A and B are shown apart, each in its own frame.
Chain A
Amino acid sequence: MIQAQSPGPVSANEKVARFVTVGKWIRADQTIRQDAFVPPKDLELSVTRHLKLSEDELWNIGQKVAEEVGQKRSATLHGRADITASQVFQQNLKAEAAPRPANPNHAHITGWPSGKSEQKNIAQELAVAAGKAVLAPKRPV
């Protein structure tokens, strides 16, 4: 198995991106719904560290995430929500490097409280921190 090389621990001033693969997670005014930041059951919310990636490289990773969507839905990358690691830390969460072979910049946001309603409040705060979504560029068909 190929081991992805970790770029090291996530520092406070780094930006991380949450790719938005569900159109409804972006409101009409381009703000992000909290749904995009609610953690999955394992409480490891996937994000991608910007680090030295170019915009194109970042979108290519997002496209791969979108392509993992189940076969019965068309895979669409709608955009991304960018936040800084310090905004994650302000919510008493952690950002941990979790490199993958296809995405060495992959990281997890962890440290979520166990209560779902508390998780939702934090997800709302992260959505506020993200501001408006960065919309995905139109790709040639």
Chain B
Amino acid sequence: MILEMTASVFISEGSISSRGTSETARFIAARAEEGRSQLQNSYTLGLRGKGVFDELCMVAQNWQEPNWDGYGAVPVTEEAYRLAYRFLESLPLGTPAPTVGAEPDGHITLDWYRTPRRTLSVSVSPDSELFYAALLPGPRKENGTEQFIGDVPLSILDLIRDVTAA
């Protein structure tokens, strides 16, 4: 019952902001974060069951050496891996799974794709920056940079919805 209620909150609302200032607000945010993390890691409800965390782990392991692409690429760092992991955990439950990759500067990329002209790529840098770019019907192009401080920015959530909506 508690699980159902918690899940429904996360599915509809995404992450709960942890920016409250009172001790109670911080406590609630911490418990909520813990609950969301557990749900995201569950095989039935979260991205874990879709293999995304395994894919992320594989990318981080395979590309931790310099020149992993033959063109002089920078290694994927543990920090980039850690932040990408947290980003995935922070996505609202029910978010379609991205595929995971990496770019020559060592950023981890999360790719939501329906067609070549309906696609979103988010780069997670080791400095907590999220660089995103999308091609959408219209034709429409979007790009931008956001800081990742624990919550997935609304601009990115909106683009995930635009790319993956039926």
Contact = CB atoms under 8 A, between A and B. Distances in A.
Given A40-B73, A121-B135, A128 B105 contact: no
B39 to A, nearest CB: 27
Interface in B98-154: 99-105, 107, 109, 111, 113, 116-117, 119, 121, 123, 131-135, 141-145
Contacts of A128: 116-117, 135
Contacts, number: 106
Nearest to B58: A24
B102 to A, nearest CB: 7
Contact of A70 (B65, B99, B144): B65
B130 to A, nearest CB: 9
User: Which secondary structure characterizes the binding site on chain A?
Assistant: mixed
Given A24-B99, A117-B145, A40 B72 contact: yes
Contacts of B102: 22, 35
Interface string A105-120: 0000000000111101
Contacts of A38: 103-105
Interface residues of A, number: 37
Nearest to A19: B70
Nearest to B75: A70
B104 A69 contact: no
Given A25-B101, A33-B101, A38-B104, A120 B67 contact: no
Given A34-B121, A116-B123, A69 B135 contact: no
B59 interface: yes
A45 B73 CA distance: 11
Interface of B: 59, 62, 65-74, 99-105, 107, 109, 111, 113, 116-117, 119, 121, 123, 131-135, 141-145
21 contacts: A21-B71, A22-B101, A33-B109, A38-B103, A38-B105, A41-B105, A65-B71, A68-B67, A69-B69, A69-B70, A70-B65, A70-B66, A70-B67, A72-B65, A75-B70, A116-B105, A117-B132, A120-B123, A120-B133, A120-B143, A124-B121
Interface of A: 19, 21-22, 24-25, 27, 31, 33-35, 38-41, 46, 65-73, 75, 115-118, 120-121, 123-125, 127-128, 131
